[in-house]
Structure 1
Amino acid sequence: MAAAAAALPSQFKSLQHHLRTAQEHDKRDPVVAYYCRLYAVQTGMKIDSKTPECRKFLLKLMDQLETLKKQLGDCESITQEIVGSAHVENYALKMFLYADNEDRSGRFHKNMIKSFYTASLLIDTLSVFGELSEENVQHRKYARWKATYIHNCLKNGETPQAGPIGLEGDDYDNESEEAGLFSLPSKGSPPSSSAYNPSNMPTTNYTGIQIPPGAHAPANTPAEVPHSTGVSSNPIIQPSPQNIPAVDPSLYSAKPHGDLLLTPEDFTRAQKYCKYAGSALQYEDVGTAVQNLQKALKLLTTGRE
């Protein structure tokens, strides 16, 4: 990927951070790396697929995708879009939750900024599966704005305001993405070894942003940060003990009501709960998996959530 990055056409400048995120995840999470590159290909085709340099770059990127697809074999996150979508969405939300917890606790540092910004890039990537939900659009806007706001405060020697504060319209600085969003001086940056406590994770009040209750992400580490960014790649979150909810006894013998008529929307919601459960199991988050499976089963047997 390094060679391809060096030859990035100027027309594709807006994709450089998605491609860097793909490179960062080649070993850590190849599924995330795959969809970041797929997003770059699809978006690049829309930007310019005719100019020789752009066409050459896109063909090289497609070759990388094919190679990665063969390496992943029969991975369901690649062969089944609904599983892949859940994988990337939960990964992005996990990073968002980590960064927001650090922000609300007043711990401002490079890893937190990196997590906010990478979460926004991964939400971009979700568009390969279809139109983004309103919740994801809001999370992306908030995460990208927060990363820019905190970066600018620290760069100017100011103390950022912790927690959700009103976005002033769409006034966040896109140019900072190109001006070294993660090039803050290390002097005075707080350590990033604070423990993750899921009980402190907020679910609402992002100035109107609401996290879907079924999309809770497990407490794993955020994306590994490469040395080239100047950000420490030491682990910054400790896994938390499992908090497995009690299973509703009535679900053990649950059967669909004889006159139950499920709508297409019901099936879609049930699928979503199942994909969240499957993605949670990839991170060994039993509590979230059980919770979502119970919701799916209740919906399919009663028609109610």
Structure 2
Amino acid sequence: MEFPPCPPTLKSIQHFLKLAQEHDSRDVVIAYWARLYALQVGLKASTQSAEETKLLLAIMDWLEQMKKQHADNEALTNDIAAQAHIENYALKLFLYADKQDREENFGKNVVKAYYSSGVLYDILLTFGELSEEALHNRKYAKYKAAYIHNCLKNGETPIPGPFPDDESSELAGDNLAGGSNDGASNVTPTEDGAAEFKSENVEPVTPSTPPAPQVTPPTAEEVLQNPSKLPSPPVDEEKPGGFEPYVPTEQPNAAIYTPIVPVAGVQITAEQMITAQKYCKYAGSSLNYDDVKSAVEYLQKALKLLSTGSE
């Protein structure tokens, strides 16, 4: 389907529409929810001009067509399935970009993966507030995309991995707003740390200290078309000051876990049932990345909720 051009007044939804277009033939679920979120944002930002109305109506028509054509796809018809699909996709891109970043494999593929991951976390707002982990990944991905993009544009070698904790916001902020002094900035920051790219023509920069020979990593294009090409998440080695994986503030100790005895006559509400399903989904997602500790925590939360009717 051909969509009308996006008017300048709806510039805020362009990156969602672009992501959707890139996934039309790759992943209809991502394309569907990217356009749905673009529609939601667009309706709020619209000044009701003829150009805006034409585009928004076209998006509505497309969404209806997709929902009819893919009525058997739960990730289009069920919010829980959709949220799990998008979360897993965003996390895979994030882990891929983080691994390549720390291995100093800088280039536009890493920028693209980081940035796409950040946009996907934006789309997850469709389902409500983001978890602490998602908020962390969203901000980090956008800062990193902007930082590496500006470094490559200015001919500088990016610092691999995260910034020191006490300098992350300052350095990331400098690189989001910086670069303009040399007339080379192609990134515009937004209030939540998002970065908007005006160009993707970025040439990779060879690090001053070449990394050890290794297998050429898959491109972002290959990753998006076939997520199985993603390298395994880095779990064995961490560089000093390296990116620390998200760890919930309260971690259960499986060794001393006391089995929960179901309370007789407990009534589980529909909302609690959905919450329990989410915990089970998060546990499955954690196991995909060998995070047994988090999986145990989520399963215990689900069991407690179903057994006692309370969290």
Work out whether the TM-score is over 0.5.
yes
TM-aligned CA deviation for residue 261 of structure 1: 8.6
Aligned to 1:45: 43
Aligned to 1:192: 217
Structure 1 residues 195 and 46: CA distance shift in structure 2, 3 A:
closer
Aligned to 2:280: 274
Aligned to 1:163: 161
TM-aligned CA deviation for residue 77 of structure 1: 1.4
Aligned to 1:85: 83
Work out whether residues 97 and 201 of structure 1, in 8 Å CA contact, stay in contact via their aligned partners in 2.
no
TM-aligned CA deviation for residue 91 of structure 1: 1.2
Q: Secondary structure at the match of 1:23?
A: helix
TM-aligned CA deviation for residue 192 of structure 1: 2.7
Looking at structure 2, the residues matched to 177 and 26 of structure 1 have their Cα atoms a distance apart, in angstroms, of: 21
Structure 1 residues 124 and 41: CA distance shift in structure 2, 3 A:
same
Work out whether residues 29 and 76 of structure 2, in 8 Å CA contact, stay in contact via their aligned partners in 1.
yes
Bigger RCO of structures 1 and 2 (CA < 8 A, at least 6 apart): 1
Looking at structure 1, the residues matched to 60 and 71 of structure 2 have their Cα atoms a distance apart, in angstroms, of: 17
Looking at structure 2, the residues matched to 288 and 207 of structure 1 have their Cα atoms a distance apart, in angstroms, of: 18
Q: Deviations over 1:85-134 (max 9, x none)?
A: 12112211221111112212222122211110001111111121123334
TM-aligned CA deviation for residue 163 of structure 1: 1.1
Q: Secondary structure at the match of 1:4?
A: coil
Structure 1 residues 121 and 288: CA distance shift in structure 2, 3 A:
farther
TM-aligned CA deviation for residue 60 of structure 1: 0.6
TM-aligned CA deviation for residue 266 of structure 1: 6.8
Looking at structure 1, the residues matched to 129 and 71 of structure 2 have their Cα atoms a distance apart, in angstroms, of: 27
246, 253, 271: which is aligned to 1:210? Answer: 246
Structure 1 residues 12 and 138: CA distance shift in structure 2, 3 A:
same
TM-aligned CA deviation for residue 38 of structure 1: 0.2
Q: Deviations over 1:19-76 (max 9, x none)?
A: 1111111122111110000011010000015111101110011111111112211221
Q: Aligned pairs, how many?
A: 265
Is 1:152 the counterpart of 2:171? The answer is: no
Structure 1 residues 154 and 211: CA distance shift in structure 2, 3 A:
farther
Looking at structure 1, the residues matched to 272 and 237 of structure 2 have their Cα atoms a distance apart, in angstroms, of: 27
Aligned to 2:181: none
Q: Deviations over 1:168-213 (max 9, x none)?
A: 1745244262421x2102575994349723352899x888983669
Work out whether residues 96 and 231 of structure 2, in 8 Å CA contact, stay in contact via their aligned partners in 1.
yes
Map 1:166-185 to 2 at 5 A: 166-168=168-170, 170-171=173-174, 172-173=176-177, 174-175=187-188, 177-180=196-199, 182-185=200-203
Q: Secondary structure at the match of 1:177?
A: strand
Structure 1 residues 183 and 138: CA distance shift in structure 2, 3 A:
same
Any unmatched runs of 5+ in structure 1?
214-249
TM-aligned CA deviation for residue 153 of structure 1: 1.0
Work out whether residues 138 and 209 of structure 1, in 8 Å CA contact, stay in contact via their aligned partners in 2.
no
Work out whether residues 83 and 278 of structure 1, in 8 Å CA contact, stay in contact via their aligned partners in 2.
no
Work out whether residues 121 and 134 of structure 2, in 8 Å CA contact, stay in contact via their aligned partners in 1.
yes
RMSD (Å) for aligned C-alpha atoms: 4.2
Looking at structure 2, the residues matched to 72 and 269 of structure 1 have their Cα atoms a distance apart, in angstroms, of: 26
TM-aligned CA deviation for residue 263 of structure 1: 9.7
Q: Give the residue type in structure 2 aligned to 1:296.
A: A
Provide TM-score, normalisation by structure 2: 0.69
Is 1:31 the counterpart of 2:50? The answer is: no
Q: Give the residue type in structure 1 aligned to 2:302.
A: A
Task: Indicate the larger mover: 112-121 or 192-201.
Answer: 192-201
